[in-house]
Amino acid sequence: MKITEISVTPVPSYYPKELGKNAFSDNIGKQRLEWIVRARTDGGVEGVTIANRAIRQGRVEDLLKLLKTSLLGREVNSLLQVQNGVVTGPGADVARTFRSTRWMDALAFDLYGKAHNVSAISLLGGKVRDAVPAYDTTLYFQDFLVPEKGAKQVAEEAAEAKAAGYRALKIKTGRGGRWMMPEAGMRRDVDVVLGVREAVGEDFHIYVDANFGYDDRLDLLEDFIRETISANIYWLEEMITHDVAGYRAMREMQAKHGSKALLVCGETDRDPISETFRHLIEDDLIDGYQPDIVGAGYLRWIEIEQALHGTEVRSIPHNFGNGTFGTFATLAFGAASKTFVSLEDERNLPHIFGPFPPFKDGAYQVEERPGLGIAIDEDLFQAKYALHEWQVE
Amino acid sequence: MLEKHIIKDIRIAPVETYFGAPGAGRIVGRNSKGENYGHNQREWLVQVTTDSGLTGVTNARPAMNRDKLTALYATLQLLLGRDVFEFYSVSGSRVTGVNPRWEELLRENGFIDFVIFDLMGRALDVPAYRLLGDRVRGWVESYDSTLYFQDMVHPEAGASAVAREAKDAVANGWRAMKLKLGRPGRWFEPNAGVARDIEVVHAVREAVGPEIRILVDANNGYDGKLPLLETFVHETGPAKTFWMEEMVTENVADYRKLKEWRDRWSPETMLVDGEGHRGRNTIYWQLMEEGLLDGIQPDMLDMGFWPFHTLARDIEDSGYATMICPHNYNAATIGLRGDIQFGAVTERFVIAEDSTLHFDLYNMQGYEFENGCYQVPSAPGLGIEIDQERYDRVYRQHETVVG
């Protein structure tokens, strides 16, 4: 079965609300594009992935050329090495391509799975849980967007997340990194965390992500950790840039003030597991590792989990920016990963991909369907998006 | 001897607004190189108060676009304790030169120039423009600058998504608008991109009629694609665009070709460029020398009044025919008011870039908007007042006091 048609289509993906700043960049906004790659075979099977990362660094015309040289005409069975129903690596002919464009391998899992009527979960090693916990990751600096409410705005949105069924959420912090003065930013961060805890109650996980907003201000980071102890933060993410000395200092702060939060990072590791992160893992300075699910790709995540085996470090793939596709991609991974913690959920409104699996008690139910389990609403695609579908010629 | 007005208090606050209503307004899409412009927008309002009770304003967004609040704080600290008249030489209510002590700071932070002019104008009880010269026009035309790649925000509508919003702009009073083009550059397959650019221009012309000025801006989206650019210029000739902006990155060879096509198919269209580098890079002067640049566009807020005034003067002195068309998009409301003040006194000024944003916080009664033009106000300084009740209620909790 050969790949005979490939197309690229930008599809707008909406958040249910405007998303504000994080510690270093301006507003995320309400809408982003998912650059959907559809690959069809002469056997009538279709697979999908997103090329957001390729477009972030390049142009549509380059992407079309890349897809042509990489995938057009390839045998589906040549994309992956599979032993006993489990993927062990890339196919020999595409190994180099998948190493440099790792977002492509999700397409291989989808196509191969559909061609053989097996799920990506199965190809990743098989289901280890019936439901994949997810967290609401949309709590940015919403206090800037609704300035009259300030920190209360974040708490209100947290309460809405709980009402929508989530049992975990992530709060962006690090306001003193760029947009506020350092002390005032730390104080607002504390107010936000305490306000959110009050809004969601005790039986709820709160994750905190500073996007390195406490770099060079370990004194303020210690204040933050101390003053938010009562909020029982579940994980502290990227409070500072990955660095052995800095993370050791954070461990000491945690011991001093009684913080049990996991320390997690790794989203910015573009070639995981790179040197600094290896040191952080070896020295037991992090508890969770977060290369992006699409950016690193399944094949690299298989290698990562092999490398993490025997450590206490858990798999927490970053997923922000991957849209609806990312929900499906992370869901398949989370269903098969023994040390997976929680799916980063952007809460994108549905478009052509569906149906989302049932969401109950803060978790997506695992439903094994061929490939990634994504069905495309072709009528909707033709009506709304086909005008911008560009074929690989 | 001018009476002293010593700066004693400086406050910074991010103030927010939306394209349309919060949660329900427009999303302004992408241009040829960047992601969506968005829905929520902001200015970094700086209020500077003197010991004599004068308060001037500016928008520090250029500084916040490039750096942290701590850096802006450190820069503004330098102003505390200074007399508002020590930055410039002033004679007979006219600025005649910049104090070398402050020249570098003002050059690097044009937005500070705004608040200094605002305060000097208030101290002398004259509008900011009077510090530069006599008024040459009482109304300044503006263009709606928010027509980005709306077809990618509303893909099902294609080019008509842009035409629909162009029609709205006319209904809201604008008589000129700028369309973002350059789809071949990044987001479209190149041939599809030029076809859409052409389709958008014609759809908008049809929607708004022959009297409305249509400006186009490709943000250099035709770089390396000159045959497509030639097609674009040829095909859109009948739409009679008012100007073509940044169709390619400025270089003499490409601009010679562009001018040749423009002269052949669209002879009334201006070629404009020069958003960066404060108009001082040699390439702009080479283009002017060869008659390849009809309008130059440094950013109003990034540049400041005095550097822009001297640029206009230098162009005048050079004998080149290049006009002045300040970039202003990021600067929103305060930048536009600066643009209007500058346009009031600058012969070569063409038209003001208007992001169309409205902030409830500002009272700007003198800037009446009629028939696509803003009236030049007679109020002292920039003529912008702050609604203090709203400020106290909404923004006080977010302000940083520079001390």
For B245-257, the pLDDT digits (tens) are 999 999 999 999 9
**If pLDDT is split at 50, 70 and 90, which confidence band does B278 have?**
confident
How close is the nearest chain B Cα to the Cα of A300, in Å?
A: 28
pLDDT at B49 over 90: yes
Nearest beta carbon to residue B186 from set A17, A60, A177:
A60
* Rounded distance between C-alpha atoms, residue B110 and residue B59, angstroms: 10
Q: What is the pLDDT along chain A (393 residues), one digit of tens a residue?
A: 999 999 999 999 999 999 999 999 999 999 999 999 999 999 999 999 999 999 998 999 999 999 999 999 999 999 999 999 999 999 999 999 999 999 999 999 999 999 999 999 999 999 999 999 999 999 999 999 999 999 999 999 999 999 999 999 999 999 999 999 999 999 999 999 999 999 999 999 999 999 999 999 999 999 999 999 999 999 999 999 999 999 999 999 999 999 999 999 999 999 999 999 999 999 999 999 999 999 999 999 999 999 999 999 999 999 999 999 999 999 999 999 999 999 999 999 999 998 889 999 999 999 999 999 999 999 999 999 999 999 998
Total Cβ atoms within 10 A of residue B105 = 14
Res B23: pLDDT: 67
Res B330: pLDDT: 74
Contact of B140 with B352, CB cutoff 8 Å:
yes
Residue from B156, B162, B191, B391 whose CB has the most chain A CBs within 10 Å, to mutate = B156
Cβ density class A129-138: b for 16+ within 10 Å, e for less: eebbbbbbbb
Res B332: pLDDT: 83
- Regarding predicted confidence, which is higher, B64 or A356? B64
Chain A contact for B399 (CB, 8 A cutoff): no
Res B329: pLDDT: 77
pLDDT at B339 over 70: yes
A333 Cβ neighbours under 8 A, 6+ residues apart: A124, A293, A298, A301, A315, A317, A340
* Rounded distance between C-alpha atoms, residue B76 and residue B370, angstroms: 36
Instruction: From chain A, pick out residues whose CB is under 8 angstroms from the CB of B34.
Output: none
pLDDT at B235 over 80: yes
The answer, yes or no, to whether the previous bond of A355 is cis (omega within 30 of 0) is yes
What CA–CA distances, in Å, run from B199 to A77, B26, B183, B193?
43, 22, 12, 10
Res A355: pLDDT: 81
Q: Is there a contact between A29 and B42 if contact means CB atoms under 8 Å apart? A: no
Res B277: pLDDT: 81
Nearest beta carbon to residue A27 from set B38, B73, B152:
B38
The answer, yes or no, to whether the previous bond of A3 is cis (omega within 30 of 0) is no
Q: Kindly list the residues of chain A whose beta carbon comes within 8 Å of any beta carbon in chain B.
A: 10-12, 17-18, 20, 27, 29-33, 55, 58-61, 64, 144-148, 150, 177-182, 184, 383-385, 387-388, 390
Sign of CA dihedral A79, A84, A85, A89: negative
How close is the nearest chain B Cα to the Cα of A216, in Å?
A: 13
pTM of the entire predicted model: 0.96
Look over chain B and give the mean of its residue pLDDT values, rounded to a whole number.
Answer: 96
Burial of A240: CB neighbours in 10 Å, binned 0-12, 13-18, 19+: buried
Which pLDDT tens digit goes with each residue over B285-304? Answer: 999 999 999 999 999 999 99
Contact of B271 with B293, CB cutoff 8 Å:
yes
Res B25: pLDDT: 81
**If pLDDT is split at 50, 70 and 90, which confidence band does B202 have?**
very high
Total Cβ atoms within 10 A of residue A276 = 16
Res B305: pLDDT: 97
Which pLDDT tens digit goes with each residue over B133-178? Answer: 999 999 999 999 999 999 999 999 999 999 999 999 999 999 999 9
